[in-house]
A and B are shown apart, each in its own frame.
Chain A
């Protein structure tokens, strides 16, 4: 394991969105989100929360990605998303604090190591299956300008393994080895900022910047011990890799309330994939096994120092990802509102054709989504405010395509790859009556009807 490359990883929201309303609308939310999901889409939107917002949801994204007709059983991404938004006012300026998290239900994190040559679904396999935590703060500078900033937290891994003792290669069961493990998960923070400009009661624009981050995985192993009384072996190994890389992103978004019941959102996300760091470990090995007096027995072949890994660079290409979402308010009764949502996004694969000795598999991704939302405006005595249930279904289609290997001696060879990803989920949002202040996004309701987006 330690002599092998590492996979890159990121966070699940870049692929699947946050909550349910965003995924249902093609993740075109930069100028629209004002609930907990704004901690990801655009922290500036938090300030438009009409009161304390508590949100909890669950989603499951199932990969059905195959090569040569065989499902590669890429891990699903599933778990809770939850968070809160707490708005307030200070010296006449509105502000809000938001906290959002994704808690995977299968495992908090997973570290695997592969040979550089092993094929993998680079953007999906073991990349998005991880815990995320984001905190953000937003301020309404004027009635038309809102600013926000947030920090996301991840952890790097630094580990050390020491093994000492004696190894009996003639009778392995008589070996006596002691081991010590020392591992640290060190915090890594990366910022993101956003701005939202309300051009009118019905039109808003937004600009969001998400900084890149990378998590290191540094492991060292030190083995020292006696080998069957013949000699003393010493083996020092250190490996370092970028375990998790998220490229810089810039999102330009717009939201337009076409009619009182129909909203259209459009986002364009620029992703700096060209900065991507190949998930390959650098390796430093020191092996010292002096031959015993008289030389090695004929039946023993002493191990050799592993050859260094010649890293094949992965040159990804920057991509502009369009997102489109629509929301139609189908029901607008006194106590209940109902929404129908749809969206689409398209990402051309940033990974060039893998004709060489490595096989980072990816395909263009077309994602269509549908969603429903129901808002119970005045639950009565249960809670002052509103209670919303949003559901989403998101289908990503990655058309099957061939990869032709240039060298017939390639160990992977030609392959077909493609598949689908289903993302299903639901979110419950409780919005408590706040100060009842109107906001100028066209969706604000009278003070007595707070709680709607």
Chain B
């Protein structure tokens, strides 16, 4: 009997202990290290009501987006995009560049409308070298100015300047990288500019039929000169070329050929410093496969010279038609904007979010 009474003590301890604890959902996977380039997931209909996964679409056929963050910590961003003006709402006919604003990174003003209705005209063709159209915007703050780089319809890269997002954007009359000066190795005119700042130097990456090339310019007075990614050879080497050819017979069952075996283009550069203090030049680009599908690739380098190393896995591929990436890197989270066709064949700017398991937060409609 004494034994039974004694044994009851740990028994009740067990019972009380069990009752005092409650099951819960598991934790983990928070704040994991990342190079800030995915994995991304497409925005849902809850996150972009009515138009998911697009963040900007409409009659203008918005495309080739670029983003300019108001600050490194907020999701308030200006989005520049190529569009096609119809001669209405003060927008000239032909390829133009418009801008829009979102306070939450995804609710852009003017969504659903044509250019001039919510989206504002930023740039239209006016110079002869532009050949009637402006394309592929990329905006960056340099000192007190916003520099808006763009490409002409026949290639060549120009720049316009503004002291505020609202403009006006004043063009340099001559291209900063002329199509006529294209090197033999480039195989054609430069397009799709993207720029980052390294101290007193601006680094410009651009696309040509032969791959991605680089040019640099002093920060104080823009005058770009082409840079050889591999000075040990006599030719002008690109920073990135398409993936090497792969013999289909060498592929294993289910294994796919490189996603960028045919071409690389539409670069978008984002500079960061790694936790180890290394400058990390990250470039997202459009990779085109031999089958004609497109996906978003990632290439990078440590430091400010030399070729980019490509990641063999595309960082974003949904329907095989995504191209022209733009990255909004907010550190632990970010948005990727891509050009993708709507069901009616018109282009729109689609959005995806990083981290894939994360929540982009509440909708904040722009006024």
Whether a CB of chain A sits under 8 angstroms from the CB of B18 is yes
> If the complex has contacts A72-B32, A105-B23, A125-B28, are A413 and B280 also in contact, measured as CB distance less than 8 A?
yes
Whether a CB of chain A sits under 8 angstroms from the CB of B221 is no
Q: Can you show 21 pairs from A to B with CB atoms below 8 A apart?
A: A55-B10, A56-B14, A78-B21, A80-B21, A119-B32, A120-B32, A298-B343, A301-B319, A381-B2, A382-B5, A383-B3, A383-B5, A384-B2, A407-B309, A409-B308, A411-B37, A411-B298, A411-B315, A414-B33, A414-B280, A415-B33
Chain B residues positioned under 8 Å from A414 (CB to CB): 33, 274-276, 278, 280
Whether a CB of chain A sits under 8 angstroms from the CB of B128 is no
Q: Which residue of B3, B30, B274, B300 contacts A432 across the interface (Cβ within 8 Å)?
A: B3
Whether a CB of chain B sits under 8 angstroms from the CB of A369 is no
Instruction: Give the CA-CA distance A432 to B10 in the complex, in Å.
Output: 12
Instruction: Give the CA-CA distance A67 to B29 in the complex, in Å.
Output: 11
Instruction: Give the CA-CA distance A114 to B39 in the complex, in Å.
Output: 12
Chain A residues positioned under 8 Å from B255 (CB to CB): 307-308
Whether a CB of chain A sits under 8 angstroms from the CB of B310 is yes
Q: Are B298 and A409 in contact (CB under 8 A)?
A: yes
Whether a CB of chain B sits under 8 angstroms from the CB of A126 is yes
> If the complex has contacts A301-B319, A305-B254, are A80 and B28 also in contact, measured as CB distance less than 8 A?
no
Chain B residues positioned under 8 Å from A383 (CB to CB): 2-3, 5-7, 9
Q: Are B26 and A75 in contact (CB under 8 A)?
A: yes
Whether a CB of chain A sits under 8 angstroms from the CB of B24 is yes
Q: Are B31 and A430 in contact (CB under 8 A)?
A: no
> If the complex has contacts A56-B14, A382-B9, A383-B5, are A73 and B23 also in contact, measured as CB distance less than 8 A?
no
> If the complex has contacts A107-B23, A387-B9, A407-B309, are A72 and B30 also in contact, measured as CB distance less than 8 A?
yes
Question: Which partner residue on chain B sits nearest A126 by CB separation?
Answer: B28
Chain A residues positioned under 8 Å from B274 (CB to CB): 413-414
Q: Which of A390-433 contact B (CB under 8 A)?
A: 402, 404, 407-417, 428, 430, 432
What 6 pairs across the A-B complex have the smallest Cβ distances?
A: A383-B6, A70-B31, A105-B21, A415-B33, A413-B35, A414-B274
Q: Are B29 and A72 in contact (CB under 8 A)?
A: yes
Whether a CB of chain B sits under 8 angstroms from the CB of A66 is yes
Q: Are B39 and A73 in contact (CB under 8 A)?
A: no
Chain A residues positioned under 8 Å from B224 (CB to CB): none
Whether a CB of chain A sits under 8 angstroms from the CB of B311 is yes
Whether a CB of chain A sits under 8 angstroms from the CB of B218 is no
Whether a CB of chain A sits under 8 angstroms from the CB of B179 is no
Chain A residues positioned under 8 Å from B309 (CB to CB): 407-409
Q: Are B6 and A308 in contact (CB under 8 A)?
A: no
Instruction: Give the CA-CA distance A410 to B275 in the complex, in Å.
Output: 14
Whether a CB of chain A sits under 8 angstroms from the CB of B118 is no
> If the complex has contacts A126-B26, A411-B298, are A301 and B35 also in contact, measured as CB distance less than 8 A?
no
Give chain A's interface residues, CB within 8 Å of chain B: 54-56, 58, 66-68, 70-76, 78-80, 82, 103, 105-107, 110, 112, 114-115, 118-120, 125-126, 129, 285, 298-299, 301, 304-308, 359, 379, 381-385, 387, 402, 404, 407-417, 428, 430, 432
Instruction: Give the CA-CA distance A378 to B296 in the complex, in Å.
Output: 74
Q: Are B28 and A75 in contact (CB under 8 A)?
A: yes
Q: Are B17 and A301 in contact (CB under 8 A)?
A: no
> If the complex has contacts A308-B253, A411-B298, are A80 and B18 also in contact, measured as CB distance less than 8 A?
yes
Chain A residues positioned under 8 Å from B5 (CB to CB): 382-383
Q: Are A118 and B35 in contact (CB under 8 A)?
A: no
Q: Are B9 and A430 in contact (CB under 8 A)?
A: yes
Q: Which residue of B21, B24, B29, B308 contacts A79 across the interface (Cβ within 8 Å)?
A: B21
Chain B residues positioned under 8 Å from A416 (CB to CB): 275-276
Whether a CB of chain A sits under 8 angstroms from the CB of B144 is no
> If the complex has contacts A68-B33, A299-B343, A409-B311, are A74 and B28 also in contact, measured as CB distance less than 8 A?
yes
Q: Are B7 and A430 in contact (CB under 8 A)?
A: yes
Q: Given A71-B30, A80-B17, A119-B33, 18 other A-B contacts at CB below 8 A?
A: A54-B7, A66-B31, A70-B30, A72-B28, A72-B30, A105-B18, A106-B21, A107-B23, A110-B26, A125-B29, A308-B253, A408-B280, A409-B308, A412-B32, A413-B274, A414-B276, A416-B275, A417-B33
Q: Are A410 and B35 in contact (CB under 8 A)?
A: yes
Q: How large is the interface on B (under 10, 10 to 19, 20 to 34, 35 or more residues)?
A: 35 or more
- Give chain A nearest CB distance to B161 CB in angstroms: 32
Instruction: Give the CA-CA distance A79 to B21 in the complex, in Å.
Output: 8
Chain B residues positioned under 8 Å from A68 (CB to CB): 31, 33, 275
> If the complex has contacts A78-B21, A82-B14, A409-B311, are A382 and B26 also in contact, measured as CB distance less than 8 A?
no
Chain A residues positioned under 8 Å from B302 (CB to CB): 408
> If the complex has contacts A382-B6, A408-B309, A430-B9, are A118 and B254 also in contact, measured as CB distance less than 8 A?
no
Chain A residues positioned under 8 Å from B311 (CB to CB): 407, 409-411
- Give chain B nearest CB distance to A37 CB in angstroms: 15
Q: Are B27 and A74 in contact (CB under 8 A)?
A: yes
Q: Are A307 and B256 in contact (CB under 8 A)?
A: yes
Q: Are B33 and A412 in contact (CB under 8 A)?
A: yes
Instruction: Give the CA-CA distance A23 to B236 in the complex, in Å.
Output: 65
Q: Are A413 and B299 in contact (CB under 8 A)?
A: no
- Give chain B nearest CB distance to A111 CB in angstroms: 10
Chain A residues positioned under 8 Å from B332 (CB to CB): 70
> If the complex has contacts A68-B31, A110-B26, A307-B255, are A408 and B301 also in contact, measured as CB distance less than 8 A?
yes
Question: Which partner residue on chain A sits nearest B299 by CB separation?
Answer: A409
Chain A residues positioned under 8 Å from B343 (CB to CB): 298-299
Whether a CB of chain A sits under 8 angstroms from the CB of B188 is no
Question: Which partner residue on chain A sits nearest B278 by CB separation?
Answer: A414
Chain B residues positioned under 8 Å from A119 (CB to CB): 32-33
Q: Which of B270-322 contact A (CB under 8 A)?
A: 274-276, 278, 280-281, 298-302, 308-311, 313, 315, 319-320
Instruction: Give the CA-CA distance A273 to B79 in the complex, in Å.
Output: 51
Chain B residues positioned under 8 Å from A384 (CB to CB): 2-3, 6
- Give chain B nearest CB distance to A85 CB in angstroms: 13
Q: Which residue of A78, A115, A126, A381 contacts B39 across the interface (Cβ within 8 Å)?
A: A115
- Give chain B nearest CB distance to A181 CB in angstroms: 20
- Give chain A nearest CB distance to B130 CB in angstroms: 33
Question: Which partner residue on chain A sits nearest B283 by CB separation?
Answer: A409
Instruction: Give the CA-CA distance A21 to B34 in the complex, in Å.
Output: 41
Q: Are A404 and B276 in contact (CB under 8 A)?
A: yes
Q: Which of B180-223 contact A (CB under 8 A)?
A: none
Chain B residues positioned under 8 Å from A308 (CB to CB): 252-255
Chain B residues positioned under 8 Å from A120 (CB to CB): 28-29, 32
> If the complex has contacts A308-B255, A413-B35, are A56 and B13 also in contact, measured as CB distance less than 8 A?
yes
> If the complex has contacts A402-B276, A408-B300, are A67 and B10 also in contact, measured as CB distance less than 8 A?
no
Chain B residues positioned under 8 Å from A379 (CB to CB): 6
Q: Are B33 and A359 in contact (CB under 8 A)?
A: yes
Chain A residues positioned under 8 Å from B10 (CB to CB): 54-56, 82, 428, 430
